[in-house]
């Protein structure tokens, strides 16, 4: 098995979310590949408080223990597939908060997008692509 690890990130934590089923669908197809490892990353498993650290991420160490755990998880992965919900024309706040806890952990890693929403999630993906560019990720 390959040492290339791809995280499939569920961007919503709502009870009535579609993201979990979408992530499982993407995983069922992607995991048939034998050259990559895939893992579903559920933001529910990382109950991050609102980002309120002393300095922008990447300049000082994060103090929050869940924040540290989240940073370590992102650092351990080589690329990402974002399962993107669209809330009010943008990404869910919980995803934005998770992105704010990290910076260098994303750098020079590829990102792909699987979106859903009232308009197919296109506006959320557009917004997320800009954020991923700011995080020095390679959008696919």
Instruction: For the chain, give the percent of residues with pLDDT over 90.
Output: 85
Mean pLDDT of the chain: 94
User: Of residues 120 and 73, which shows the higher confidence score?
Assistant: 73
pLDDT at res. 117: 76
pLDDT at res. 61: 82
Say how far apart CA 114 and CA 85 lie, in whole Å.
Answer: 9
Measuring CA to CA, which residue among 72, 95, 98 is closest to residue 83?
A: 95
pLDDT single digits (tens) 22-45 = 999 999 999 999 999 999 999 999
Query: Is the Cβ–Cβ distance between 20 and 42 less than 8 Å?
Result: yes
Q: What is the mean pLDDT of residues 64-84?
A: 97
Measuring CA to CA, which residue among 83, 77, 127 is closest to residue 102?
A: 77
> Taken in order 106, 3, 46, 26, is the CA torsion positive or negative?
positive
pLDDT at res. 4: 97
Is the confidence at residue 60, as pLDDT, over 90?
no
pLDDT at res. 140: 87
Domains for the chain: give ranges and CATH numbers.
5-139 (3.40.50.360)
Instruction: For the chain, give the percent of residues with pLDDT over 70.
Output: 97
Say how far apart CA 115 and CA 122 lie, in whole Å.
Answer: 7
**Tokens representing 34?**
């034998």
Q: What is the mean pLDDT of residues 58-77?
A: 92
If pLDDT is split at 50, 70 and 90, which confidence band does 57 have? low
pLDDT at res. 99: 96
Reduced DSSP (H G I as helix, E B as strand, rest coil) percent helix, strand, coil of the chain, to 5:
35, 25, 45
If pLDDT is split at 50, 70 and 90, which confidence band does 2 have? low
């Amino acid at each position: 098995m390959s040492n290339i690890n791809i995280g499939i990130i569920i961007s919503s934590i709502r009870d009535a979310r579609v993201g979990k089923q979408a992530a499982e669908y993407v995983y069922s197809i992607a995991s048939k590949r034998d050259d990559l490892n895939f893992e579903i990353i559920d933001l529910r498993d990382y109950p991050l408080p609102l980002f309120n650290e002393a300095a922008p991420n990447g300049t000082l160490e994060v103090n929050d223990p869940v924040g540290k755990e989240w940073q370590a998880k992102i650092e351990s992965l080589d690329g990402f597939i974002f399962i993107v919900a669209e809330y009010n024309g943008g990404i869910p706040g919980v995803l934005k908060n998770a992105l704010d806890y990290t910076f260098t952990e994303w750098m020079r890693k590829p990102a792909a997008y699987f979106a859903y929403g009232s308009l197919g999630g296109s506006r959320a993906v557009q917004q997320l692509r800009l954020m991923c560019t700011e995080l020095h990720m390679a959008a696919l």
